């Protein structure tokens, strides 16, 4: 009985923005988020497995909204113990201002990550015809 081939792990591949089919090649044209105007530009297809990246027009806008709202609520975990929240003063508005600032700073990464989640939802591992898994 032969040993099963080793698959690249899902979460590290998603966080490093690798192809959902082979989990080896990068998905975006630019490695980083700069320049901001080209940060969401996808490659037409994966160089290794040939998986098409630009298959749908909706590339995770709803997922980006959900991630932004999750980040708003996660900001509460650090803001509340440090500064506190009360309905008697304007601390809720300070929290909303600080959370908005954090979400705006994280937005380029959130936009790319939401696109990756979208691709990983609709493209299964090893579905491309040119996939070869090596040890």
| Structural domain boundaries in the chain | 10-122
Q: What is the pLDDT of residue 126?
A: 75
Q: What is the pLDDT of residue 104?
A: 96
Instruction: State the greatest distance between any 2 C-alpha atoms of the chain, in Å, as a whole number.
Output: 70
Q: What is the pLDDT of residue 59?
A: 65
Nearest residue to 59 (alpha-carbon basis) of 78, 39, 83, 42: 42
Q: How confident is the model at residue 60 (pLDDT cuts 50, 70, 90)?
A: confident
Q: In the predicted model, is pLDDT for residue 110 greater than 60?
A: yes
Residue 48 in tokens: 């290794």
Q: What is the pLDDT of residue 131?
A: 46
What dihedral angle (degrees, nearest 10) is formed by the CA atoms of 99, 101, 105, 110?
40
Q: In the predicted model, is pLDDT for residue 135 greater than 80?
A: no
């Amino acid at each position: 009985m032969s040993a099963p081939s080793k698959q690249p792990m899902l979460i590290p591949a998603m966080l490093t923005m690798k192809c959902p089919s082979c989990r080896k090649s990068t998905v975006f044209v630019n490695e980083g988020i700069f320049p901001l105007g080209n940060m969401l530009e996808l490659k037409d297809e994966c160089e290794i497995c040939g998986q098409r990246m630009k298959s749908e027009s909706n590339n995770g806008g709803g997922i980006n909204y959900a991630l932004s709202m999750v980040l708003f609520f996660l900001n509460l975990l650090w803001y509340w113990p440090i500064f506190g929240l009360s309905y008697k003063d304007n601390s809720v508005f300070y929290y909303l201002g600080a959370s908005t600032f954090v979400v705006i700073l994280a937005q380029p990464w959130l936009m790319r990550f939401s696109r990756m989640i979208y691709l990983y939802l609709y493209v299964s591992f090893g579905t491309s015809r040119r996939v070869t898994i090596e040890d």
